[in-house]
Every structure is written in structure tokens, then in C-alpha cells.
Chains A and B, each alone.
Chain A
């Protein structure tokens, strides 16, 4: 193992600019086939973690806690609660649009010293779309970690030059008279789209409204669909 581990780390050290095995990329292209044998990269990551733990640079339990937080606690349900509150409470919506950080903190998310948040509102006249063309900036506190497509070259490259084409790919064909605003997250400000409240939802309470709100609608690549007939909420 020692010899292998050295090889793995040496490869990792020269990864910037060096060739790496294409196996994982292939797996992504083919809908995440799962491999029976650990990939070379998985072993390199393991070797680095072992080295860092041995040196006392990271605490393995802290890594587990971080992973658990982003797998189970921080995700788009946070954002959905914010959207539902804004739909249900006009005063909250006003606070959300004028001082998003404070309004989001009211529901227990975000932080006053972290990335600043901005909430942009979709209306019958305006549709907002969020992207980070330079890397992968995304409002982690309210939506969790971004999906692969958000971080991908196709989305990052085209959202700014052809937002309507991108939206069509997501199944949203916007009429020409709707104004599209694209927000390219170039600084430490994170954007959340407040989608339009769908029709036929006057009878729903806040929790039922939140259940309708999708991650994609809060990035701006989709609208929130009205409750399906016959589906009990």
C-alpha cells in the first residue's frame, strides 16, 4: 500500500496540468455507471486524506460531520420555506426583497458575516436566471450544493449569451415580450430567484406551498407548477 499510496499522491501533486485517468469522466457521460473496483482517483483521495489525518491537519470526524450537513441538513428545502413564507406573507416578501440577509436569518438560515444574499423576483413581465460563468458560485445556505448541470460547461457558457435557449432546454419556452434578466455571480453575493406563485394555491398553507417549490425554480430554470389535480398535499 505504501508504494501505491506514494504513486497516487505523486500523481495528485502533478494533477494541475498533468494527465489523469478519464474513467470518472466517462462514468459521468454515461449516467454514472458505478464501478466495482475503486477508481484510481478514489484511491488518490483516500491517500491524501490519510496523510492529512496523520499530520493532524484534518479531523476525520469533522469531515464526516461536514458531509452529513450537506447531504442531510442544508438543501433546497431551506429555500422552499423562504419562498413559501414570501408567498404567504407580503410583509415578509418585502423584507426579503429589500434585505434578504435579515429576512433569511429570520427563518434560521444564512449568516450575517457570510456571503450576502440577494433575492430577485419573477413576475408576469420579468424572468430571472442565475449562473456563475467563472466557477460555480451558488447559494449554499439556502439551496445546498449545486447540481452537476449548474457547474457544467454547457450551462455556464450559454446562460449569458442564450438564456432563452437554455430555458427551452429545461422545458420553459418564454414569450418574446417577457424580459429575461441573467445574474452572473461574479462576487460574494448569492442569488435566489423568488418564483411566481402558481394558480390554484389560495387554499394551501405555508408547508403545502413549500412542497411545490423546486430547486430549479429557485435557480430560475423552471416555473413552479400548480398542484396537480387529484394529488393530495
Chain B
């Protein structure tokens, strides 16, 4: 969707605020939102793409105003209700619906190992899908404007780049975010010259690399 989350190239967002000795979390509630998101993911009721999309659906003015974990919290509530893990009635009453049994949480402390955390997002697929492009080939990013989730930023649409390398086969976010299938396909690192993206104001030496799925590209 052409949302405000797709920020690459926008002006006027102000200076970058750095913080010395920044803590991992600024407030305890931020850490709880973070941990709930990971723990609830173990129910496998949604996927990383659907979770990202839940935050993209936050209205633009709110998206820009909210702090990071506020957005996570808003997206989390959306995912819980949409997935049926929590009903609107339960949200409204603040308590489990009468007569519902207590579930068993799938994520317990003993399961939280370094390997589990490192392997949380698993989007690559070991399936034989033929690549449509190869390294060194010129490609044009498609000018698509889907109303749903996409990982093709607006600033690259219609632009010509060069395939730098083939990363292999991955789940396609545009369908996966909406539970329409994984549609596994090749992802490439595509190099776009800064001048192709931004015109003569950009340095002739510079470039931006984006990871692009087969469905985002045409030969150029």
C-alpha cells in the first residue's frame, strides 16, 4: 500500500536524534510489548508479513506521531482480534469470555534458546523454482501500486537497475501477508544508481541496493 511507512526519499522529517548510552528499552511497557509479540508469534496464527502490514494499516497521522512500540502494540491488538486468539468482547470486557478453557502457551522459558531466537523468521524456501534473472542482467522494477502489503518501495518503482546477486528462493510478502499463499520465488539484490533514483543531484558514484522478488521485476 502507498502508506506513510514507505518513507524512502521523503523530506521534512527533521534531524536524526541520537541518544548516548541508549537502553534497549526506554520503559518497561516497551519490553512487555516486544516480548508479547515474540511469544504470541509462537501460535503461528500470522506471519512476519502480516505483522508488518498490521502496522502499515495505522493511519498516517497516527503512524508518524506514535513511538515505535506504540505501533507494535496497536498492530498486535489488530492481529489478535483478526486471528481470533482474542475476541472483541474479551477486549471490551478485559477478561476471558465465560466458559472458555485456559489454553497452554506454546512458548515457555525452556524453549527460548539462542537457536530459537536466531531462527524465528524463516522465509527462505528450499524448493526448485527457476530464477527469471541472473547476476549482471538489467531489470526494471515494476510500477505496481497494490492496496495491500508490498516490499517494493515507491522510490524504486519504474526504475532500472542491475541484478547484483541471486539470494535464492523466498516467501513472497505480497501474498503471504494476506494469507494467500507463500508463492516462493527468487529474491535478488538489485543495484540502482543513485542518479537513476534521484536525478542529477545525487552523486554519480553512489547506489542503493534493494532486495527484489521476481514478481517485482521485468527485463530492461
Q: Which residues of B contact A31 (CB under 8 A)?
A: 19
Q: Which of A87-95, A109-117, A205-213 participates in binding chain B? A: A109-117
In the complex the two chains form, is A156's CB within 8 Å of B8's CB? yes
Q: Which of A15-23, A196-204, A223-231 participates in binding chain B? A: A15-23
A37 touches B (CB below 8 Å): no
Q: Which residues A84-122 have CB closer than 8 A to chain B? A: 108-116, 118
Number of interface residues of A (CB under 8 A): 102
Given contacts A148-B17, A154-B13, A187-B167, contact A13 B77 (CB under 8 A): yes
In the complex the two chains form, is A6's CB within 8 Å of B24's CB? no
Query: Which bucket holds chain B's interface residue count?
Result: 35 or more
A149 and B203 CA atoms in complex are apart in Å by 24
Q: Which residues of A contact B91 (CB under 8 A)?
A: 9-10, 12-13, 51
A134 and B64 CA atoms in complex are apart in Å by 13
In the complex the two chains form, is A41's CB within 8 Å of B187's CB? no
Give, as a whole number of angstroms, the nearest-CB distance from B80 to chain A: 8
Given contacts A52-B36, A57-B43, contact A111 B197 (CB under 8 A): no
Q: Which residue of the partner chain, among B13, B102, B121, B211, contacts A158 with CB atoms under 8 Å?
A: B13
A65 touches B (CB below 8 Å): yes
Q: Which residues of A contact B121 (CB under 8 A)?
A: 114-115, 188
In the complex the two chains form, is A58's CB within 8 Å of B73's CB? no
Q: Which residues B37-73 have CB closer than 8 A to chain A? A: 38-40, 43, 48, 52, 54-55, 57-59, 62, 64-68, 70, 73
List 13 additional A-B contacts (Cβ < 8 Å) besides A24-B27, A189-B167.
A41-B73, A46-B32, A49-B32, A51-B86, A56-B104, A61-B109, A134-B153, A140-B117, A144-B24, A153-B10, A153-B13, A161-B155, A181-B207
12 A-B pairs with C-beta separation under 8 A: A12-B77, A17-B62, A31-B19, A42-B29, A46-B29, A51-B86, A55-B103, A58-B105, A59-B39, A135-B55, A149-B16, A164-B206
